[in-house]
Amino acid sequence: MDTAHIKNILALHFHPQDGTPFWLERQQHLGLDVRETIQSHHDFHRLGVMDVAALRSRPITDFIPKALHQDLSSLLLSETGGTTGDPCRRVFSPEEFHNAFIGPWLKAVAEHNFPRKGRWLFVGPGGPHIIDRSARYMARALGSLEPFTVDCDVRWIKRQARGSLGLKLYTNHVLAQAANIISHQEIDTLFTTPPLLVSLARIMTPGQRDQIRGIHTGGMALDHTSAQELQEQFCQAVILPGYGNSLFGVTFPKVREQNDEDVFQVQDPALWLQLAPLPADAQSRQVLTSSVAPGLRGRVILHRLDESFLIINLVERDTALAVNCPNGELGLSHIAPLEFATPLDRQGVY
């Protein structure tokens, strides 16, 4: 991560008068001058683990620099799905939203020859989840009509027990809406979550699957086995998975040889994904001081430095294998959630 960018963002968020209330409180609690102490990303550990409870409960303006409070009407709100608890919230400026979601998408489209000017169907969460807004911008960026959409309330789904009647009825409701659109609208591009894509494939006819030219998956990792099975079912399609979330944006895999695992790389100067050795205690500062060697699994630590919002040392729920890429940057493969006490039942179709 560029040192000049780090210093500029920290100067804004830690300005004594016009800075960010949450981070100024954090600085006072730690008893240090962040603008003098933090010289590079190697110093981020000095700030300690990000307070996730605060992201879930404090007013959003506590995380926005006071210098930007007169421009609140231009900012875009985003909330997480709430897999591990109450949702976390943040904002993006229009430029930050583009850099986090659309810029990496356009680079991946060019690298993977993803089809343009298609007829899109997006099946996924709307409402407070920025993935819906991303789907609309992604399609339009490729010269397409705004996607046909089927809303999916992931927070409700996560409240349903695995195998329950409630989960079955809601999933069938979502799939029936998608099937109706596919039957009438000449859909050739899909954007949805991996579990929903698997379910969609089962109800689509061979002819409908053959019409699909592009598939983008998001919301959770697409495992290698599922990817191979889906490629056989959608044999005409470019399948382009994304790894990201509502807090940091999205990353895409580099072009791979056939049957190789996907390796995701960050292509956004405001974002740094660190892999900390396992086991990683989300409340321990030790988790922040080292990174795993290539070939080992680590827990994802999120750092995203934007003018509108600062996230440093947020311990994510995901783990990944570290890959040393040819350009010297860190790559992430075999991404999978950390095992929680109540994990998979809360994942739902998301």
Decide if 107 contacts 101 (C-beta within 8 A): no
Residue in this structure with the two tokens 């494939």, named with its chain if needed:
201
What is the identity of the amino acid at 230? L
Task: Please tell me the distance from the alpha carbon of residue 138 to that of residue 98, in angstroms, as a whole number.
Answer: 10
3-state DSSP helix/strand/coil % of the chain, to nearest 5? 40, 20, 40
Which residues, in sequence order, are CB contacts of 341 under 8 Å at separation 6+?
A: none
Determine the pLDDT at residue 258: 63
Determine the pLDDT at residue 235: 95
Distance, C-alpha 114 to centroid of its chain: 20
Residue in this structure with the two tokens 């061979």, named with its chain if needed:
206
Residue that wins the pLDDT comparison between 281 and 6: 6
Q: CB atoms < 10 A from the CB of 166, how many?
A: 12
Residue 337 pairs with which residues in a beta bridge? Answer: 318
Task: Please tell me the distance from the alpha carbon of residue 124 to that of residue 86, in angstroms, as a whole number.
Answer: 19
Mean pLDDT across 70-92 = 90
Residue that wins the pLDDT comparison between 235 and 345: 235
With a cut of 80, say whether residue 297 has pLDDT above it: yes
Residue that wins the pLDDT comparison between 329 and 21: 21
Distance, C-alpha 75 to centroid of its chain: 19
Mean pLDDT across 140-148 = 97
Determine the pLDDT at residue 280: 56
For residue 276, which phi and psi values (nearest 5 degrees)?
Answer: -95, 145
Which residues, in sequence order, are CB contacts of 185 under 8 Å at separation 6+?
A: 119, 121, 148
Residue 82, Ramachandran bin (φ over 0: left; ψ between -120 and 50: alpha; else beta)? left
Which of 28-42, 222-236, 325-339 ranks highest by mean pLDDT?
A: 28-42
Q: 279: cis peptide before it, omega within 30°? A: yes
For residue 202, which phi and psi values (nearest 5 degrees)?
Answer: -70, -30
- Tell me the domains of the chain and their CATH numbers: 69-350 (3.40.50.12780)
Mean pLDDT across 170-193 = 96
Decide if 332 contacts 322 (C-beta within 8 A): yes
Determine the pLDDT at residue 349: 44
C-alpha torsion angle, residues 320, 321, 325, 328 (rounded to 10): 80
Determine the pLDDT at residue 23: 98
Q: Which tens digits make up the pLDDT trace of 221-268?
A: 888 888 889 999 999 999 999 999 999 999 999 887 666 789 999 989
Decide if 231 contacts 259 (C-beta within 8 A): no
When pLDDT is cut at 50, 70 and 90, the band that residue 47 belongs to is very high
How many residues are there in the chain? 350
Residue in this structure with the two tokens 């996730």, named with its chain if needed:
52
Cα separation values, 257 from 3, 63, 204, 260, 263, Å: 34, 42, 29, 6, 11
Residue that wins the pLDDT comparison between 96 and 127: 96
DSSP readout, 104-169? HHHHHHHHHT---S--EEEEE--TT-HHHHHHHHHHHHTTPPPPEEEE--HHHHTTSPTT-HHHHH
When pLDDT is cut at 50, 70 and 90, the band that residue 284 belongs to is low
SS3 40: coil
Mean pLDDT across 177-206 = 96
With a cut of 50, say whether residue 344 has pLDDT above it: no
Mean pLDDT across 7-21 = 98
Scored b (16 or more CB within 10 A) or e, 276-301 reads bbeebebeeeebbeeebeeeeebbbb
